[in-house]
Amino acid sequence: MIEIKNVSKWYGTFRVLDDCSMAIAKGEVVVICGPSGSGKSTLIKCVNGLEPFTKGEITVDGISVGARSTNLPKLRSRIGMVFQNFELFPHMTAADNIVLAQQKVLGRGAEEARAKAQELLARMGLSEQAAKFPAQLSGGQQQRVAIARALAMDPIAMLFDEPTSALDPEMITEVLDVMVKLAEEGMTMAVVTHEMGFARRVAHRVVFMDQGAIVEDATKADFFGKPRSERAQLFLSKILTH
């Protein structure tokens, strides 16, 4: 469903992405990990065109992201994205955050959009919070609203950019639980995260990046069994010692 072929990206002379290739099939859950600055967030943002790339090709459901003729807003509306810092719109209630793009992008009626928002908030266990503003919600609640906002567009795939790294420890579980459920329902997911517990539970594959390059792309069993590269071993030993 998502295909990344030989993608490179430079900031001036600094190479952020170095000839990256990978594919995510329908219903697959791929965890992307690696040290900070390894380019994993940049790569995932290339998938929906939030970051332009210099070379290579990315296609989503057969449509090229980099092509000039592509209607990017339309393509983006079919891919859900969840951000590290939630990025809920602070001037709107939780429900309005979920309603906005349904109406303005998908052209749904007010009633339909509102019903969908209520249904999703209920699924996230947040029915009570519908009328609250982002600043009145905890980090974990905000991130779940953000997930609901993305799901409201009925996306064909979901991208998660370090969805739990801005959260207090006690809130990480409530967000991961939602993501696990989503994975079990068969959603196609690309998740940038350091949560190896999550990877062990639901990932099909784990991709390890370092210095802009994909160093390892392995099945979950292979990756946790014995990573082939030294760098991946080192990385794992560092984040798993605690």
Residues that bind another protein (CB under 8 A): 45, 48, 50, 72-81, 83, 85, 87-91, 100-101, 104-106, 135, 149-150, 153
Nearest approach, Cβ of residue 81 and another protein (Å): 4
- How far is residue 225's CA from residue 190's CA, in Å, rounded to a whole number? 21
Nearest approach, Cβ of residue 59 and another protein (Å): 18
- How far is residue 142's CA from residue 214's CA, in Å, rounded to a whole number? 31
Nearest approach, Cβ of residue 72 and another protein (Å): 8
Count of CA atoms in the C-beta half-sphere (13 A) of 52: 5
Nearest approach, Cβ of residue 52 and another protein (Å): 12
Measured from the CB atom, is 98 or 124 closer to another protein? Answer: 98
Q: Which positions ≥6 away from 97 have C-beta within 8 Å?
A: 88, 89, 134, 145, 146, 149
Measured from the CB atom, is 130 or 166 closer to another protein? Answer: 166
Measured from the CB atom, is 163 or 227 closer to another protein? Answer: 163
Nearest approach, Cβ of residue 48 and another protein (Å): 6
Nearest approach, Cβ of residue 90 and another protein (Å): 4
Residue 50 backbone dihedrals phi, psi, to 5 degrees: -70, -30
Measured from the CB atom, is 98 or 202 closer to another protein? Answer: 98
Q: How far apart are the first and last CA of the chain?
A: 36
Measured from the CB atom, is 79 or 94 closer to another protein? Answer: 79
Contact yes or no for 174/182 (Cβ under 8 A): no
The residue among 201, 135, 142 whose CA lies nearest residue 167 is 142
- How far is residue 3's CA from residue 23's CA, in Å, rounded to a whole number? 4
Nearest approach, Cβ of residue 237 and another protein (Å): 30
Measured from the CB atom, is 83 or 208 closer to another protein? Answer: 83
Strand partners, 60: 2, 63
3-state helix, strand, coil in the chain (%, to 5): 40, 25, 35
Measured from the CB atom, is 73 or 109 closer to another protein? Answer: 73
